[in-house]
Amino acid sequence: METIKLKFLFASALLCCIVLGSCSMQDYDIQIPERVFGKLNILEKDLTMDIKDGSSLSFEYQVTNANELIKLKTHIEKTRYYSTLSYRSEELGWIDASVFDIDLQEVLGKANMNIIIEKHAKTLKKKFDAKTANRIADILEGLPELLYYELGQKEFYNESTLSIFYHLAAFNTVRRSYEKRWSGDCQCGVNNSYLGRESPFFCAEDIMVSADWAYEFINEKSAIKRSEGHQFDPKTILKYLNNESGKLISVNKVDKLLREELDYFWRSINVKEKQQINSKVFTLSMVPMVMTRSEYNGWPIDPECWLYGVHGGGDCGCCGNYEGACWWCELLCYIHDHQCETCVSPYGWWPGYCGPDCVPGC
């Protein structure tokens, strides 16, 4: 009798998902990120000194074909770190968009920087709406590369120059907070390459990957789905990644575009194909999830899980490691799982890298 009841719930929930998906069909364009171009002008710099003796940098960046300007002024006094990012637009005029005042002795060997970024991002989110925060993040995104070629490697890796990464990380955290469907928290995960002094600061969610690798990965996964009879053809994101060939791109940005392609695919297919997908991946163990979760855009599971072939909470690509069906997948989690195949952290002194729930051989 219990089995019959479960099957009835399964059928009801499944029908509900199918109907909702069918009724929400709509045409829309996927917005492709555009690189912001402009002119960099160094105003003042003193980047030859060691951090304990102080250093400073100020520059401005004029956006091409727009009345927008970025100014950054950073200086270090003994153990105090001051950095002010100003932004001008026709709508807002001049504003101090982001200000850091950090006691370097309290950062504890950089281990607390992600916490500082999270707190700062919460302040920025109260100050800026999604549109403005995204625009500032887009402008800042291209500045590290320009600074590297303008200053050279030695001056680029001075702490005053690297302050641009803290501002960028904070605005990217705000951007991700606005984009998250189930959580509005400003989260900035620990970046171990920064802790290991192998890279400038960025949140774990904003790790950079090769556009060429992302292209091959998504193309391969979608080809597998087509071989199974599902015509998922993510032309928009593949075209974007192809245009970015040879460059590094944020995992979060790839993940956002991929979800939009998957959502468009689900809305465009017929009821029969929806039933076919559901019958292969939707099990009775998922009934409670579907009955309590209603924000899958019509999917009974997270669409990226379907694309990666993820079913259980312990599969590669599932965010976390737990019993039962996987609730959430991201490209970042897929990359992390493959980096931690042996569950042995490359940073032995930082035990949280792969996590206590890591499963060897994932």
Please name the residue that has the structure tokens 């990226």: 304
Amino acid 344: pLDDT: 61
Which two structure tokens, joined as six digits, stand for 2? 């219990």
Amino acid 303: pLDDT: 85
Amino acid 323: pLDDT: 80
Amino acid 300: pLDDT: 62
pLDDT tens sequence for the chain (362 residues): 433 333 333 333 333 333 333 333 344 466 777 778 899 999 999 987 655 567 899 999 999 999 999 999 999 887 788 999 999 999 999 999 999 998 877 665 577 888 999 999 999 999 999 999 999 999 998 899 899 989 998 899 888 999 999 999 999 999 989 887 546 688 888 776 677 676 788 888 888 888 899 999 999 999 999 998 888 999 999 999 999 898 888 888 898 899 889 988 988 888 888 777 776 665 544 544 444 444 444 466 788 888 998 888 888 888 877 787 787 888 888 877 776 666 664 433 233 345 555 666 65
Phi/psi of residue 42, each to 5°?
-75, 125
Amino acid 78: pLDDT: 77
pTM exceeds 0.85: no
Interatomic CA distance for residues 234 and 87, integer angstroms:
36
Rg of the Cα atoms in the chain: 23
Interatomic CA distance for residues 10 and 15, integer angstroms:
8
Interatomic CA distance for residues 327 and 336, integer angstroms:
17
C-alpha distances (whole Å) from 272 to each of 189, 255, 289 are 40, 27, 23
State the DSSP code for 318.
B
Amino acid 341: pLDDT: 62
Q: Is 69 helix (H, G, I), strand (E, B) or coil?
A: strand
